[in-house]
A = this chain, B = another copy of it.
Amino acid sequence: MQLRDDYGRKRVIIQKVKPEIDSGTFPIKRTVGEKVVVEADIFTDGHDALSCVLLYRKEGDANWTETPMSFLGNDRWRAEFAVAELESYRYSVQAWVDTYKGWSHGLSKKVEAGQDVSVDLLIGAQLIEEAAERSDGPDGKKLQQLAATLRSQEEPVKKRIRVALDDANGALVSKYPHRDLATEYERELQVVVDRQRAGFSTWYEMFPRSCSAEPGKHGTFKDCAAHLPYMAAMGFDVLYLPPIHPIGRSHRKGKNNSPTAGPGDPGSPWAIGAEEGGHKHVHPELGTLEEFRQLMTEAEKFEIEIAIDIAFQCSPDHPYVKEHPGWFLWRPDKTVQYAENPPKKYEDIYPFNFESDRWQELWAELRDVIFFWLHQGVRIFRVDNPHTKPFRFWAWSLAEVKKEYPEVIFLSEAFTRPKVMYELAKMGFTQSYTYFAWRNTKWELTRYFSELYQSDVREYFRANLWPNTPDILTEYLQMGGRPAFMARLVLAATLGANYGIYGPAFELCENRPREFGSEEYLDSEKYELKQWDLNRPDSLKDFIARVNKIRRQNPALQSDWNLHFHPVDNEKIIAYSKNTDDLSNIILVVVNLDPHHAHTGWLELDLEALGILPQHSYQVHDLLGDARFLWYGSRNFVELNPQVVPAHIFRLRRRIRTERDFDYFM
């Protein structure tokens, strides 16, 4: 322990700064325009007063901006700042014993008690003179005059006390505090700032090869472009395409994941790489790279962004296998180790060997794959199975990309154990898939979203909710049919500021599993071309369009932090609200989770959380059905028939008209 300099005189302690992830090892995340609320335990020994400031700056800036922190009680202080630009920010905390503030408090107490304060006034004068020395410009003169008044033997004591305790004078002195002995928090913490779509996005996944107007024909990027108006009408703003690269032929999978492919079988797009090229090439049957760029341009017109898939694995035919044998693990029989999870074998997939001694070369190439697509204009990537590649690789490669393209968005597809999912988010993924698909009961949903949105997890893990994917057809959807699809759509779209569906399977309520107990689709699109009848009368497309419109029109649904669950006395009905910080927009969602039966229940609204006074009535407007109700008090009746619509999405209006609104009301 050093006993030099001013070490021993710095008496303030700063601790338990929040947000701080794993001792500051990882940054927190925000989108442009959001705020960072910083709190800390700050205290010193004895009875001295202290002051403290939140410090923040953009990553490259030399100087901190300061904002004073407010006292919350129990030695806790708080301040906030907004992240206005698409850059990283740093923040920290500084605090010091504020002798002047302490003197001023003491003086007023002594005056109240009628004590002699003549010496105290001289002490105050001295403190103000010291502040004058630290000041600049005209303030110095004012401070000197102030000190002189406090010292003056000619002025009556009463006047000197009044001047000393005057608020404006106090504020002037406090502009020039003595901070030589200030404590700085030991760490600078980081905020990564993403663009707004990172926090609010509506995804649609589709296989372009199934887009052909002609049955049995391989769809192309051009066919895909023809579907853009359909997706835009439903209100999606991200179109995510499964891998668009050449597909391997060795061990190609046939229909329904058969180990042998028939002559016409197109194979799984995740078996990447063939004679025609690998991760930097486009599957010829989809079109050319030029045509892919045209699709992106076309999509822009509909305010849709194209997201592509990053799946770092190879088919046995990938050019890498011959060109870079060192990137793979070789078995004693001179074959490459294919993917396996014994006793399961995935012979169509060769994983990279990240423990290879050529790891630097491999990392560089994989990073270049991402840059290749950035150069084509792609700014959103869905990353396949990132949990089967080293964490450090992602930390490094995502940082490399963000340095040059701060607007890029990476969605982590890690359906694995919770700590691994969270760790990937810490490594830099912008959004993450979740367990939402398997959270179906009220207890499960409440517990899971409390963890995601009300614990520290929310600082770095941005949920993206998917009721289905090409790999996940849940039992709930299999058994619940159309009402289940509607309920899950509403839950995904309102619980998650970010959500997505795998379509057209979703809007057409495709729910036939390959076999009982499996989550795979029967005749899965992963292994064959499909022809979807988008105009089927039972399609949910209009319902989805309505829900997505509600999302766009209601800022409460564009963020996740203000989620609040409300009790209902029926386990099959869930109710929750979201609101903007200023309570100008409040959405209340009520969903019947039982797709088979109508349910009723008494909802117990937490009015205080919504800023509604218990003696006021309020209007609830169902944005799905357009009905309006006047509610009063916390307890209200709800009834939902899944055969009609299994959910309400209410907008709450706190203010209703009364006779007092008329001009002639006194």
Contact = CB atoms under 8 A, between A and B. Distances in A.
A13 B426 CA distance: 12
B45 A342 contact: no
- Interface SS, A side: mixed
23 contacts: A1-B396, A8-B390, A8-B392, A8-B393, A9-B357, A13-B423, A16-B22, A23-B24, A43-B420, A43-B423, A45-B420, A47-B341, A47-B388, A74-B418, A74-B419, A105-B342, A107-B342, A110-B342, A113-B343, A122-B331, A122-B332, A122-B333, A126-B332
Interface size class of A (residues with CB under 8 A): 35 or more
Contacts of A355: 9, 11, 97, 181
A543 interface: no
**Most chain B C-beta atoms within 10 Å of own C-beta, residue among A47, A74, A342, A351:** A342
Interface string A116-146: 0001001100100000000000000000000
Contact of A119 (B47, B109, B332, B387): B332
Interface of A: 1, 3, 7-11, 13, 15-16, 22-24, 41, 43, 45-47, 74-75, 97, 105-107, 109-110, 112-113, 115, 119, 122-123, 126, 181, 331-333, 335, 340-343, 351, 354-355, 357, 359-360, 363, 387-393, 395-396, 399, 417-420, 423
A311 B351 CA distance: 68
Given A9-B354, A11-B390, A110-B343, 20 more contacts: A1-B392, A8-B396, A9-B355, A11-B391, A41-B419, A43-B420, A43-B423, A45-B387, A45-B388, A47-B341, A74-B418, A75-B417, A75-B420, A105-B342, A110-B342, A113-B342, A119-B333, A119-B335, A122-B333, A123-B332
Contacts of A16: 22
Given A3-B396, A343-B110, A363 B74 contact: no
A452 to B, nearest CB: 17
A320 to B, nearest CB: 18
Contacts of A399: 1
Contacts of A357: 9
B392 A109 contact: no
Given A126-B332, A389-B45, A109 B343 contact: yes
A342 B49 CA distance: 13
A354 B8 contact: yes
A46 B355 CA distance: 12
Contacts of A11: 354-355, 390-392
A22 B186 CA distance: 12
